[in-house]
Amino acid sequence: MKYVALVYYQESIINAMTEQEWHDLNQECVAGVERLTSQGNYVTGQPLQPVDTATTVRVRNGELLVTDGPFAETKEQLAGFYLLEARDLNEALQLAGRIPPARFGSIEVRPVRELPPKD
């Protein structure tokens, strides 16, 4: 099964990090992706720029509405995602638990839904 692991943390924690801590965290993530890839669990993934770069789009009555910022203000912000291939939820949870920001943020694990075939 495929699962998405959504990585959330308080950006303030990251902002308070020293250069060295931030560098080490990134290297740890690089090593994590390498391990997931070698195990065949990694499909894709991407860290994201901070939430102050977010722009939200909605279409209402056929009109495109653009607003600055994320769709909702939350205590923890979306910081990236992984698309994982796992046997079942238990394996997905084990893999998510090893994503470095799990130690100070939260990882939401969701199974993917496949779109139905084209009519």
Q: Which residue of 89, 98, 103, 104 would you call a contact of another protein, by CB under 8 A?
A: 89
Helices (H), 1-119: 11-15, 19-39, 89-97
Residues 24-83 that bind another protein (CB under 8 A): none
**Nearest to another protein of 11, 85 (CB atom):** 85
**Nearest to another protein of 24, 88 (CB atom):** 88
d(CA 112, CA 86): 11
In sequence order, the 6+-apart residues with CB closer than 8 A to the CB of 52 are: 69
Binding site for another protein (CB under 8 A): 1, 3, 86-90, 92-94, 110-111
